[in-house]
Amino acid sequence: MPADGHPTTILYPAAARRIRSGRLWSVVHTWSSLVATAFLLVLCLTGLPLIFAHEIEELSGTHAAPQPVAPGTQPASLDRIVAAGHAHLPGHAVQFVFWDDDQPGVVLLSIGATPTSDYTKNRTVRVDAHRAAILDEINAQSGVLPFILRLHTELLLGLKGKIFLGVMGACFVLAIASGIALYGPSMRRLKFGEVRHHRVAIVRWLDLHNLVGIVIGCWMLVVGSTGVLNAFADLTIKYWQYDQLADMLGKEAGRPRPETLSSVQQTADAAQALATGMKPSFIAFPGSIFSSASHYAVFMKGASPLTSRLLKPVVCDAATGRVVDSRAMPWYVTALLVSQPLHFGDYGGLPLKIIWALLTLLTIFVLGSGLVLWSGRILRARRLRDGGRR
């Protein structure tokens, strides 16, 4: 008898390898699933309202709309818009100017306590793009949706929570991959989608678990892997600063912040002249996480829906507004940018969001049925052990 106690090892070597491989995948699937299931349930439940975050905000009616203007009216200068933000929050510093395609006629200012303060604690001010008048302020630190977002992305634990959820997401991806590897051998004697209703409940649960899991397996892989990329977004940006931004700045990297900043509008125009066919996505001010102490970074994006998620940074001198350097984002940042809308289904309008929500509900079923199967295995093992003792 071979060492593993299975006669197939001698008689059928290929079958023995399949048995060992199946056992390995079963162990991987079981434990990677168990480790992550509780946290994945939290992510699914919090992810559902976040899919419809924009629609929920619109229904709440809390944001003021900009005044209508005649077609062709030119927007106000960015310098006036930034000045309005400083007047609204005296003693604070604008760190970012950005545009949201879902809010036409509005420019958003992300304002921090200082030019270098933690951007996650910034206050977001909405400004009428044509009148340079303050519309209102988005409270990103309190409220139900911001709380759900922090719970979904960091478990309210900051960077440590993001890294932890990234590891849990990797376990989820491993569980899906191992489940797909197990599906074929486990169902080779059954028709696809067959549920054995005549068998005991635990077998029916197994068939349903396998069926739903294999049907949405590819989608779960996409959402799980993009979730892992998003979890490590902060570290990715830090590496980009070290790898690419420092190289773009060259000898100018260590310069101090100038006492007087150049015109924001002229800086944006210089970036626009360089990146023809693109439009600004956001402007990072000197001292913020996406720039240096002495430079603006204007992030241009494609004008079409297909290229609107792809950014090209244009680094400009903060004292003169001249363009210092520009280059395409590296592959790892591009992967991050593409993964963000894909994770929430935020690139195909409301119909795709509804599909994403339905698939999330099915994922909750897969996770819950997995727990049912595990608990059934524990109960069976306990009954066998107790029976052996008698």
Give the tens place of pLDDT for each residue, 62-73. 678 888 888 888
| Span 257-271, pLDDT tens digits | 998 999 999 999 999
Three-state helix/strand/coil letters over 93-116: EEEEEECCCCCCCEEEEEEECCCC
Contact 356, 345 (CB under 8 A): yes
In a domain, 290, yes or no: yes
Residue 21 lies in a domain: yes
DSSP string, 52-77: THHHHHHHHT-SPPPPP--TTPPPPP
Query: What is the distance between the alpha carbons of residues 246 and 292, in angstroms, rounded to a whole number?
Result: 9
Give the list of residues 6+ apart from residue 125 with CB closer than 8 angstroms, or none: 85, 88, 89, 108, 109, 111, 134, 136, 137, 138
Same domain, 202 and 290: no
Percent of the chain clearing pLDDT 70 (strictly above) = 91
pLDDT digits (tens, 9 = 90+) for 154-166: 998 988 999 999 9
Determine the Cα–Cα distance for residues 287 and 111; give it in Å rounded to an integer.
12
Return the SS3 of 359. Answer: helix
pLDDT digits (tens, 9 = 90+) for 289-306: 889 999 999 999 987 776
Q: Which domain range does residue 241 map to?
A: 67-130+232-344
99 close to 105: Cβ distance less than 8 angstroms: no
Is the separation of the CB atoms in 82 and 129 below 8 Å? no
Tell me, yes or no, whether 226 lies in a domain.
no
- Whether residue 2 is predicted with pLDDT greater than 60 in this model: the reply is no
Residue 212 and residue 256 in one domain: no
Q: Are residues 170 and 297 in the same domain?
A: no
Q: Tokens standing for 259?
A: 């006492």
Query: What pLDDT does residue 174 have?
Result: 94
Q: Which of 306, 311, 252 is nearest to 280 (CA)?
A: 311
Look at 170 and 246; give whichever has higher pLDDT.
170
